[in-house]
Amino acid sequence: MQPSISPLSFPVSENDRRALQALLRSCVEQGASIGFMLPLEEGELVAYWDKVLADAAQGGRVILVAHDPAGGIVGSVQLALETRRNGRHRAEIQKLMVLPGARRGGLGAALMEHAEDEAARRGVRILFLDTSEGASGARAFYERLGYAYVGGIPDYALDPQGPPAKNAIYYRRLGEVRGDAASGAPGLGNGAEANLQSVAIRPMQEQDWPEVRRIYEEGIATGHSTFQSAAPHTWAQFHAGKVAGCSLVATSDEGACLGWAVLSPTSTRPVYAGVTELSVYIAQAARGRGVGTALLKAVIAASEERGIWTLYSGTFPENVASVRLQLAHGFRIVGTRERIGLMGHGPLAGHWRDLLVLERRSRVVGVPAR
Pair (40, 83) in one structural domain: yes
Q: What are phi and psi of 254, to 5 degrees?
A: -85, 0
- Lowest average pLDDT, out of 1-10, 168-177, 297-306, 326-335, goes to 168-177
**Residue 152 domain flag:** yes
Pair (81, 168) in one structural domain: yes
**Residue 368 domain flag:** no
- Lowest average pLDDT, out of 22-26, 101-105, 227-231, 321-325, goes to 321-325
pLDDT of residue 65: 96
Domains of the chain: total: 2
Q: How far apart are CA 187 and CA 328, in angstroms?
A: 10
Q: How far is CA 56 from CA 63, 244, 352, in A?
A: 7, 52, 45
Classify the C-alpha dihedral 199-200-201-207 as positive or negative: negative
Residue 114 belongs to domain with CATH number: 3.40.630.30
Strands across the sheet with 73-81, in order? Answer: 4-7, 61-67, 73-81, 90-98, 126-132, 167-173, 148-151
Q: Is the pLDDT of residue 179 over 50?
A: no
**88 vs 289, higher pLDDT:** 88
pLDDT of residue 35: 83
Tell me which amino acid residue 263 is.
Answer: L
Pair (163, 253) in one structural domain: no
Q: How far apart are CA 325 and CA 53, in angstroms?
A: 31
Residue that terminates a domain, selected from 141, 173, 205: 173
Pair (113, 259) in one structural domain: no
**354 vs 189, higher pLDDT:** 354
Cβ pair 287, 199 in contact under 8 A? no
pLDDT band, residue 1 (cuts 50/70/90): low
**Residue 180 domain flag:** no
Residues 6+ apart with CB under 8 A from 358: 106, 184, 185, 312, 313, 315, 323, 326, 327, 331, 332, 333, 334
Pair (301, 222) in one structural domain: yes
Residue that terminates a domain, selected from 107, 140, 173: 173
Pair (143, 267) in one structural domain: no
- Residue count of the chain, please give it: 370
Q: Is the pLDDT of residue 370 over 80?
A: no
pLDDT of residue 190: 30
Pair (84, 226) in one structural domain: no
**Residue 369 domain flag:** no
pLDDT of residue 178: 38
Q: How far apart are CA 89 and CA 81, in angstroms?
A: 9
Strand partners, 169: 130, 151
**Residue 187 domain flag:** no
Residues spanned by the domain of 286: 193-361
Pair (118, 223) in one structural domain: no
Residue that terminates a domain, selected from 173, 201, 226: 173
**Residue 75 domain flag:** yes
Please name which of 26, 102, 103, 108 lies closest in space to residue 69, comparing C-alpha atoms: 102
With H, G, I as helix, E, B as strand and everything else as coil, classify residue 176.
Answer: coil
Residues 6+ apart with CB under 8 A from 15: none
pLDDT band, residue 182 (cuts 50/70/90): very low
pLDDT band, residue 319 (cuts 50/70/90): confident
pLDDT of residue 369: 63
**Residue 285 domain flag:** yes
Pair (103, 223) in one structural domain: no
Pair (81, 167) in one structural domain: yes
pLDDT band, residue 318 (cuts 50/70/90): confident
Pair (163, 249) in one structural domain: no
pLDDT of residue 3: 86
Burial of 27 (0-12, 13-18, 19+ CB in 10 A): buried
- Per the prediction, the chain carries an average pLDDT of 87
Q: Is the pLDDT of residue 232 over 50?
A: yes
pLDDT band, residue 176 (cuts 50/70/90): very low
**Residue 188 domain flag:** no
Pair (101, 168) in one structural domain: yes
pLDDT band, residue 175 (cuts 50/70/90): low
